Structure formats: structure tokens, C-alpha cells
Structure 1
């Protein structure tokens, strides 16, 4: 009897464990993914990673409940077929994701994905032999669904160079990598769109030495982590890939989402155990402060981005001092160990040891307090902005949506924009910056500034190429051929006789007059007589 009771109890416990998982899958809704990896190109060298990258991503997405439409080494017709199937399958989906690895290119600020059979030797081939990025965006379901496009297609592309040679230089321009895509201006309800590239717009990504590219390896590791929101996962990917490539490749994403998106299971954090009031924990202070501050996670992301960009011991140690248990703490310690192995000067070693000892002795720093110092003309002058620094400040404000002119003159529009930024961030609205406010503004606008400058450069280059007037073809000049030397010798030996002068008629000393007796002559110096008679 006890045996059967134990068996029934085991099944009840198993069913209880499965119920939350079923609820989590139901909450995720209908999710569809299109995964394509093109490696074996007919008119370009084969790529080592895209096919295996696509298989890895398809496996990861299937495990978290996606209906995956997969394709490897697709020609033009096959890519069209998979895209049509995805459009139909994702029409009523809650989440639709497109992942593409292979060759891509940008022309005049627009992005194109290249099938394996594409031979691009004429401008018209862009329309007839490639798949435009706009078509991928059009295939995504409308709001309230969430659309995600991830492209590992920023490789060095020989097909782009072949096409560039055939394009008219006065109206078309190509550039490396992919062009930035701005989705911030689109209307967003509860859904939205997210675009992710393997590296910054206009840059080239790397395949790496393994079976998968550095970007897809890190993406597969983090995108489906339980409890990790999609944009947080992409931030972790950015940090890992930047560290692995020594800053040569920095993944990029741009999003306009109306809610948090979880690719993996959305697991709730367990409640923290109640601590006795008499025994507060010193190590819990940073986590408590971060949880009470809504910007805690965003600040950590910005600090980590700055540390990974600088790639110095001081920046990594500053990150660990502020976030000892942060999401990138292990990676920061690994980078510190690698930097310590490199040769350094004695001064650097002394400073490093000092900072390490200070970090070991001092308790973890609490979350930074809100800025309370009011900016004045004096505090802003202490920043030491030259003309280029002022232009940089204005471009940062422009990149996050404020209306002003980037002319290096901090006039009325710039002051108004600074005041609006201060007000939006809970700072004293004085329209003048303090050094701390300026550092915070730079951290908040690094990604937006990269996107803004890449877009401005692309538009300026396209405008400059279109403004160049086509040169009129010059008429060919007549070719003057040299006389043969033999002909000159023959004419010298047998000169032609000089032409005879024409005989000129001698002038007569008389002229004719008509009179009564008929015609008669008179001297040319005289006039004909009026009487009509010859009188000489």
C-alpha cells in the first residue's frame, strides 16, 4: 500500500512541476523564426561560419518554443520562398524573429542580403538578384507583435567591390558593412521592432577561428538565458565580443519596443530572505541600492561600455568597485588578468597595486547619489570645451532628439536643449553643465551618437555624389600625321616649277563715247562731249 501511495505522490509532484512550465510557454504565445545561413557562394569565396551559425541559432530557438523556418546556402528563388513562408506563418504571431548570416552590403544607405547564386555586375542586379532589408521589415507582423531582425552580415564582401565598379559614380555609392537603420521614429504600441548587427554600422565583422563567428557564439549563449531581457542579453553580447576582438568588433542594436521581450523563460526572481534588523549585511547594500534605483541597470551598462571601450586596468577596476557583483564582473576580472600579463611600466604596476589594495580594504561603493550640484557658467568653463568639443556636445544632443544647430556656438537653442535634458534626468535646470553632468551625458549618448554620425556620413556622401555633374565628352582632335621622309626627299630632288604669273590686261589710254556720228574714242582723261560730236 505504501508503495502505491509513493507512486501516486511522485506523479502528483511531477505534474505540479510541469504546470508552471506549461504556463510559461503559454505566456510566450505564438513565436516564429526565419533562420538563414549562406556560406557556399558561387561568385565569391566560401564563408566558413554562416551555415553552422544558422544551425546553432535554429537549435537554440527551437529549444525555447520557436517554430523555426530554416535554410542553408539558399539561392535567390529559395530565399524568396523561405521569406514568403515566414510572412505567412508569422502573420498572427506574437513574436517574429529573423536571423541571417552571410554576405550583405549597403548602397546609397540601403541594405541588401545576397543569395549564394548572385552575380552582381550591373546596377539592375540589386533589384533582381538580392533581397532588400525593407522586404524583411515588411514581412514582420504588425503591432502588438514584436519583430526582431538580427544580421551577422557585415563581412568583407568581394561582391560589393565588383558591383561598385559597375555603378555610375555620379549617382551611386557603396560603403563597407551595413547602413544604420533607425526605428526610433516608428509608432510603437505594446510591440515594436529591434534591429541588431554583428558590428557597428559601416564596420566589418570577423568570422573567427572556430566553427562559429564570435558574435553568433556569444548570441547563442545569452539570447535565451532565463530571466534575461533581450536588450540586456544583447548588451552582454556586445561586451563579450568587444573583449574577444580587442575592440575591433562592437555589436550594435537599435530598438523601439513597447515592452520587455524575453526569448528564454521569464522566470521571477526569488524573494530575498528577511535579514534581522540588528545584523545588516554590508555586501547587500549595492544590490539594494540598484534595485531601488530604476536606472541602476542602465547605468551599469553604460559604465561597462565605457570600460570595455577604454580597455584599461583603471576602468575595469572602477567598474568592479561600483558593481562588484554586476553582470559583467567575471568578464572584467578576466580582462584585468589579461592586461596584467602584458608588459607595463613600473609606475603603472605601482598604481595597479595601490588600486587593488584600496579595493580590497574598502567596502563596495554604494550606488551613486542623484546629482544635486547646479551647473553655472563657471562649472561649464571648467570642462574646457574647445570648438570641436562644443560641436561634439551639440551632436550628442541632436542624436537623442533635441532641436539645435551643431555650429560650435552654444547659443539659445543649445542652452534650451541642455535645460530640457537636465529636466528629463531630474537635474537642476540651469542650462549649464557641471563636469559630472557632462560625463553622464556622454555615457548616455555614446550609442546614439555613433548611429547619428554614421547616418549623417552616409547621407552626405550620397548627396555629394549626386551633385557631381556628368562631364561632357570632349570631341576628338584631328590627328596630324607626319609626312613620309621619302616624299620630302623626292620633292627636294625634283622641285616643282614655280607657277607662271597670270597675264594682266594692259590698261588703254582711251575710252569710248557714243554720239550722233556713232561710237568714237576720246582720251581717257577727257569727258564725252555733250554735243555728241567728236571735236578733235
Structure 2
């Protein structure tokens, strides 16, 4: 059992200006290795920016203290040789942090991703394997190298890499879940294409270099800002994505700050709560954008992204350009370039009712990815309607003894207020299903235990101040989507995402653990286990919830992202 003090120290990396005891600052250059590749000079489909993009990233990494091998306009033999040299270098014991960056044409075939050398002539499927370079082989090699941190960045999803010679069956790149100790960042979503741009750099790398250049910013947070900027600048036409299994925080530019006490950390969190209170009821996109830039991995970023998306759906006829630059100001050139390529957001298509219970067939609400390399990525997909109902069996986790059958009925839904009431207000949730009030315990902000989307390895924090019988307590969790599991409950057998949460009631010095099994498209948890322990190990609360029956009037038809 980890201590409250240890847990609070871990929170430091999540707050601005906190201490960085577990970071990788580029002080010893031999410990930081990078391979940067930019391919532009293709004979059939030349690109304008990859060489510029690679040069900009190379300069950034060199400034951060990385030993950087930069290869431009590589042939297949040169590309393979560079990767082989790189693989040998990073196996050395002193290497700690490894960055691989590629800009150029990329393609997928049979769930495998390929980097396209400038001399590749592809006219049929077999040419992909013999004339391009299989990225999956590199990722497999990296996964076998232990005790390293890998950052893989691919700006490699341009359209029609082979021109008229060969038309790909699937566009863009295939998703690949990050091996342990690594982060994979892609310039656009799986199966989508990215803009090469008409300026000095592509849209993705322009934002990437700017955000990674900022001091004292975690790489993961920088990439979340990049995703926000690119998504808004392209009006949703290009949405970068990441998959991570990092076990430590990584910074390119970090300074050693004074260690902070628990009270310092609580003060920083209170500041974030205050900023959240200012924006939580806003209908202005730019205010949400500003909040997410300041708190890319904040305690309410999952909710903020969901509300921003909702605003973009509602206001798609009036697109904004504020996210093109970190200052929130778009250049005239960017506005002109993007205005002709606007694609409005569309609300999700909805289907009919779902009924679950003994003897009833469990519908397949979401389709697990067919890729052998990825579980996939899915929207939460909740649409609450008055009259939706879930019946749950409640039991003690230790004894297994059933204590009650609990029925939850939706009695009010207010989309403007982001509010769902259960049993006439006995429980109040936000539209994602996160609790705001539970049987007399009120939360000053939603306790974000349910994410906006499901992706293996996804991490976030959940924090709030709760009040019960006039007593206030400060609660904080680290939350992670840990696995996809088959789970059997009285309502049937489900493929569910397991969401693990560990935290503390800091005020009362009580350790908190919660495991939730969630099915995309279902409005209620399939199973939930909750335990609370005092510092001496004494269990003060132990509860298991299992779904018995469910009636839900609306479903989202396509949950895949």
C-alpha cells in the first residue's frame, strides 16, 4: 500500500511549476539519442515540408541535448541502415531516452505500417513489403529493449503516396498500441490523412516544435496541446492522436524547482478548481481552448474536451481559428488556407433501445479492432434519456455477501446544464456519467472517473472537494485504462474496458481504490469495485456493484474514432 505522502509527491508532476524528481532532463547527451528522418523528394508525389519538418525537429532535439542522427531524402537502403545503426546505439546501457521522428509518405497494409523511401516504386501489394520499410519491425525491436523510454513521432499520413501507380486499400496508418515504456504520436487519426501544409512546416510539426520547446512541460502534455491546436485549426479534419505506456514523466526542457509540500500542491489544485469554476458554464469556444491549453492533462480535461466538442457541433457553421498558434491568434494565411477545407462536425447517429438481463442476448455495441496490434479507440457514446434504468446487485467485496439490489432511474436530463439526475436527484451526474452528488455527498466539481473516449493506456487525474454533513474533504485519484477484459455479471458477458483508479482522501488520510468496467455505448457501469482503507490498513468501505438489468432508449451507432 503506497503512502499518502508518496502519492502527493507524485502529484507534483501534474501541476505547473512543480518539482521534477522523476524527469529526464537532457543533461547527459549520451543518454539521449534521436533518429530524425524527413523525406520530400519523391518522384511521383513530392512533398513540400518533410525535410523542413525534420530539420526543425532535429534542431529542437539537439538544443535539448540529444545526440541526433538526421537523415534527409533517404533511399530504402539508407533508411534501413540508419534504423539498424540506431537500434544498436540505443541498446547501450547508458541510453535512457530515445526519440524517433519520421516525416514523409507512409502507408498501411494488412494492419502493418510502412515508411516510404524516396526511391520506392510501388505498383502492387507485394511492392509495399519489398520496397518500403516496415515500421512494425522497428516497434517490435524497441519493445524488446528494456529500461528505456521511447518517443516515436510519425508525421507520415499524406494522401496517395504512390500517385496513380497504386491505390491503397486503406488510407493513413494503422493504430499500434504503445509497447511498455513508450509513447507513439501520430499526426492524424488512424486511417486518416494529414496536411503537408503550404508554409515552412506542416500543420502538425509546426505545432509540435512550438509546444515541445516550452520549458517544464511534459511531452504528453505538449502533445495534447498539439492535438487541440491541430484539431481546431483544421476544424476537425485532422486530429492527431497518441497511445502511451510511459512509466515516467518525460521533459525535453526541465529545470529543477524547489520541492513542494502537500499544502503547496493542494494550493495549485485549488487554483485549477478556481479556473474550472470560471469556465464550466461557458458557451464560448475560446474560453475552453484557453483552459485546455493551460491544463492539457488537468483534473477536468476529459470533461473540457467533451464540452468543447459539443460546442463545435453546435457552432459548426461558425468555425473559429484561434488554435492555429499557441497565442490563440491565426495568421491571415492560415485562415485563407483552412477556410476552403472546412468540414462541419456532425452529431452522432443514434440507434434504438438496449435491453439487458437474464436470458436476453447481449448486443455488440462496439466492435473490437481487427488489428492484431491494437485494441482500438472508441467514444464513450452515452446518451441519457429520462426513463433509462439500471438494476444493480450490491455486495461486499470481501465476503461476497449481497447487501441490496439498487435501481437507478434517470428522472431528469438537462443538456445545457450538463446534468443528469437519478432517482429524483438522489444522484446527480454530468453527461459523461461522472458523479456530482451521490446520496448526500456533494462534489464541487465532477469526479472524472469516466473518460470521453476509451483507449488502452490512457491516463488522467480526478480531483475534487466533497462535502457531507458539512464536512469538506479533498480527494484526488490517478486513473488509467488498464485492460480490455471479458467480464460476466448477472446481465450477461461483456467485452469491457477496465478503468483502474488509485488515490487518497487527503483530508482524512484514507487510501482510495476503484475499478470500473465500462462498455462503450452503455450509460451505466457493468461492474464497479470500490475500497477505502485507513493508513493502518483497516478497511472502512468495501463494495462491489454488478449490473443485473438495463433499459436504455438510445445508443450511438458508430463508436470507433
Superposition TM-score, scaled by structure 1 size: 0.53
Which position in structure 1 is the counterpart of 2:511? Answer: none
Where relative contact order (Cα < 8 A, 6+ residues apart) is larger, the structure is 2
Which position in structure 1 is the counterpart of 2:503? Answer: none
What is the DSSP-based 3-state SS (H/G/I as helix, E as strand, rest coil) of the residue aligned with 1:379? strand
Distance 1:379-1:97 versus aligned 2 partners, 3 A rule: same
Which position in structure 1 is the counterpart of 2:185? Answer: 196
Q: Does 1:179 align with 2:279?
A: no
* Higher Rg of the two aligned structures: 1
Which position in structure 1 is the counterpart of 2:517? Answer: 417
Given that residues 398 and 404 in structure 1 are in contact (C-alpha distance below 8 angstroms), is that contact kept between their aligned partners in structure 2?
no
Cα deviation, residue 233, structure 1: 1.1
Distance 1:425-1:150 versus aligned 2 partners, 3 A rule: farther
Q: 1:135-150 to 2 correspondence within 5 Å? A: 135-140=137-142, 142-150=145-153
Which position in structure 2 is the counterpart of 1:518? Answer: none
Which position in structure 2 is the counterpart of 1:215? Answer: 204
Distance 1:289-1:181 versus aligned 2 partners, 3 A rule: same
Distance 1:311-1:103 versus aligned 2 partners, 3 A rule: farther
Work out the CA distance in 2 between the residues paired with 1:282 and 1:216: 31
Given that residues 86 and 139 in structure 1 are in contact (C-alpha distance below 8 angstroms), is that contact kept between their aligned partners in structure 2?
no
Work out the CA distance in 2 between the residues paired with 1:312 and 1:45: 34
Distance 1:142-1:425 versus aligned 2 partners, 3 A rule: farther
Which position in structure 1 is the counterpart of 2:158? Answer: 155
Cα deviation, residue 215, structure 1: 0.5
- After superposition, the C-alpha distances for 1:389-417 in whole angstroms (9 at most, x for unaligned) are 9xxx9x978975343499xx992335993
What is the DSSP-based 3-state SS (H/G/I as helix, E as strand, rest coil) of the residue aligned with 1:124? helix
Q: 1:341-352 to 2 correspondence within 5 Å? A: none
Distance 1:424-1:314 versus aligned 2 partners, 3 A rule: farther
Given that residues 64 and 265 in structure 1 are in contact (C-alpha distance below 8 angstroms), is that contact kept between their aligned partners in structure 2?
no
Cα deviation, residue 265, structure 1: 1.9
Given that residues 531 and 543 in structure 2 are in contact (C-alpha distance below 8 angstroms), is that contact kept between their aligned partners in structure 1?
no
Given that residues 228 and 266 in structure 1 are in contact (C-alpha distance below 8 angstroms), is that contact kept between their aligned partners in structure 2?
no
Q: 1:43-58 to 2 correspondence within 5 Å? A: 44-58=44-58
RMSD (Å) for aligned C-alpha atoms = 4.9
Q: Does 1:37 align with 2:38?
A: yes
Q: 1:20-419 to 2 correspondence within 5 Å? A: 25-26=26-27, 30-42=31-43, 44-92=44-92, 93-140=95-142, 142-159=145-162, 162-164=165-167, 174-183=169-178, 186=179, 188=180, 192-268=181-257, 284=271, 286=273, 297-312=297-312, 377-379=407-409, 401-404=483-486, 411-414=491-494, 417-418=517-518
Distance 1:422-1:314 versus aligned 2 partners, 3 A rule: farther
Cα deviation, residue 309, structure 1: 2.8
Cα deviation, residue 223, structure 1: 1.9
Work out the CA distance in 2 between the residues paired with 1:431 and 1:305: 29
Work out the CA distance in 1 between the residues paired with 2:206 and 2:260: 32
Given that residues 225 and 265 in structure 1 are in contact (C-alpha distance below 8 angstroms), is that contact kept between their aligned partners in structure 2?
no
Distance 1:289-1:398 versus aligned 2 partners, 3 A rule: closer
Distance 1:127-1:25 versus aligned 2 partners, 3 A rule: closer
Cα deviation, residue 313, structure 1: 10
Q: Which has the higher helix share?
A: 1
Distance 1:210-1:425 versus aligned 2 partners, 3 A rule: farther
Work out the CA distance in 2 between the residues paired with 1:382 and 1:136: 52
Given that residues 94 and 145 in structure 1 are in contact (C-alpha distance below 8 angstroms), is that contact kept between their aligned partners in structure 2?
yes
Distance 1:61-1:331 versus aligned 2 partners, 3 A rule: closer
Work out the CA distance in 2 between the residues paired with 1:28 and 1:64: 9
Given that residues 221 and 296 in structure 2 are in contact (C-alpha distance below 8 angstroms), is that contact kept between their aligned partners in structure 1?
no
What is the DSSP-based 3-state SS (H/G/I as helix, E as strand, rest coil) of the residue aligned with 2:166? helix
Cα deviation, residue 28, structure 1: 7.6
Runs (5+) with no aligned partner, structure 2: 1-20, 278-294, 316-322, 340-390, 393-405, 414-419, 421-431, 433-449, 457-480, 497-515, 519-524, 533-541, 549-555
Which position in structure 1 is the counterpart of 2:403? Answer: none
- After superposition, the C-alpha distances for 1:503-534 in whole angstroms (9 at most, x for unaligned) are xxxxxxxxxxxxxxxxxxxxxxxxxxxxxxxx
Work out the CA distance in 1 between the residues paired with 2:493 and 2:327: 40
Runs (5+) with no aligned partner, structure 1: 1-19, 165-172, 316-327, 343-373, 434-441, 443-448, 455-536
Work out the CA distance in 2 between the residues paired with 1:89 and 1:289: 45
Size of the aligned set, in residue pairs, is 339
What is the DSSP-based 3-state SS (H/G/I as helix, E as strand, rest coil) of the residue aligned with 2:172? coil
Cα deviation, residue 428, structure 1: 7.2
Given that residues 33 and 96 in structure 1 are in contact (C-alpha distance below 8 angstroms), is that contact kept between their aligned partners in structure 2?
yes
What is the DSSP-based 3-state SS (H/G/I as helix, E as strand, rest coil) of the residue aligned with 2:245? strand
Distance 1:396-1:263 versus aligned 2 partners, 3 A rule: closer
Given that residues 48 and 198 in structure 2 are in contact (C-alpha distance below 8 angstroms), is that contact kept between their aligned partners in structure 1?
no
What is the DSSP-based 3-state SS (H/G/I as helix, E as strand, rest coil) of the residue aligned with 1:162? coil
What is the DSSP-based 3-state SS (H/G/I as helix, E as strand, rest coil) of the residue aligned with 1:70? strand
Work out the CA distance in 1 between the residues paired with 2:86 and 2:269: 52
Cα deviation, residue 227, structure 1: 1.6
- After superposition, the C-alpha distances for 1:151-201 in whole angstroms (9 at most, x for unaligned) are 00111024176334xxxxxxxx72011000023xx5x4xxx1111100110
Given that residues 35 and 68 in structure 1 are in contact (C-alpha distance below 8 angstroms), is that contact kept between their aligned partners in structure 2?
yes
